[in-house]
Amino acid sequence: MKVSLNHSEVELVFLTISKRNADMHEIISTDTHSFITTSRQAPHCQLTMITGIDFELVRILLAAGMLGSASFFDIRRREVSDMLWVFFGITALAVYALEFAYGGAFDLLNTSVPILIAAVVSFGIYKSGLFGGADALALTTLAAILPTFSGGIAERVLLPAGSAFLVHPIAPLIVLSNAVILSLSLIGFNLASNAAYASKNPGKLFEGLEHESTGKKILAVTVGYKTGSKPGYAFPIEQLVDGRRQFSFALKNAETTEYETRRDVWVTRGTPFLAFMLAGFVSMLFVGDIAAIIMRLLF
């Protein structure tokens, strides 16, 4: 039987076949994309679905508990028991063992490298005197608990794909850099304290130090303040040389330098750095790497 089709009918048949092919291709592509997306899910997400335990969340809560309790003792006593680090270190090992027992994949490289880097950085800063022993142990233990972190909410928005060179996933280093940036807030407190002292004691802010340069005076009001009463936890930034008062901004060992007890002298705050580490950890969770975000906004 012979069928004849005019030009319009042939075009209609062709368009119908093309549409059906396109629809079929879309269905196949969608299913394939769904399969690929599912197959590329993070191992910890797959393990969470199987066991019902989010081990990353467990590590985050564990790290928060460690830094929170350490900050409490550091603020209250300026001393943290070594048993705290031992306890949380053992707990971190227990979490790894539990995750492995449930079939989780242990990534030796992504776990050991951050711990090694954190240990080296902590030891170096500790030997320089800028870190106390508790600060160094806190950073190393944090690396054992939470070696890596994927980034905070704001960081994921401000640092899209292709900007990875600005960030790194090593959690303890992100916490450390965040803590250093947040500690700069002390400059505001120092300026306010010096303004209050100058208001109550006109002309006496630099009494005995009038001979010092303008640059040193600016540095003094930025990194320190003049005490009007017993300073408490603070280190001196002035000294007597041949009976003459002089500023001294040399780095002091946080472990061996004694706190200042005199009144009306220049000091720098001995603020517990663990408190800033806790703040740096919290900001990492919700913001991400502050330094990376600043670089992104500036450049």
Instruction: Assess if residue 280 is contained within a domain.
Output: no
Q: Which residues pair with 245 in a beta bridge?
A: 240
Of 172, 202, 226, the domain-final residue: 172
pLDDT tens, residue by residue, 83-93: 999 999 999 99
Instruction: Assess if residue 4 is contained within a domain.
Output: no
Confidence of residue 136 (pLDDT cuts 50, 70, 90): very high
Of 144, 172, 200, the domain-final residue: 172
The domain in which residue 119 lies consists of: 45-172
pLDDT tens, residue by residue, 279-297: 999 999 988 889 988 888 8
Task: State whether 70 and 134 are in the same domain.
Answer: yes
Task: State whether 190 and 108 are in the same domain.
Answer: no
* Residue 55 or residue 106, greater confidence: 55
Instruction: Assess if residue 299 is contained within a domain.
Output: no
* Residue 293 or residue 232, greater confidence: 293
The pLDDT of residue 159 is 59
Confidence of residue 23 (pLDDT cuts 50, 70, 90): very low
Average pLDDT value for residue range 228-250: 85
The span from the first CA to the last CA of the chain, in angstroms, equals 74
pLDDT at 1 over 50: no
Select from 154, 165, 140, 8 the least CA-distant residue to 84: 140
Highest mean pLDDT among 187-191, 259-263, 288-292: 187-191
Instruction: Assess if residue 151 is contained within a domain.
Output: yes
Contact 153, 287 (CB under 8 A): yes
The pLDDT of residue 171 is 93
pLDDT at 203 over 50: yes
| Alpha-carbon span 253 to 132, nearest angstrom | 8
Least confident span in 161-165, 174-178, 235-239: 161-165
Backbone angles phi, psi at 29, to 5 degrees: -65, -40
Of 148, 172, 196, the domain-final residue: 172
| Alpha-carbon span 24 to 20, nearest angstrom | 6
Task: State whether 157 and 196 are in the same domain.
Answer: no
Average pLDDT value for residue range 248-263: 79
Instruction: Assess if residue 32 is contained within a domain.
Output: no
Q: How many domains does the chain have?
A: 2
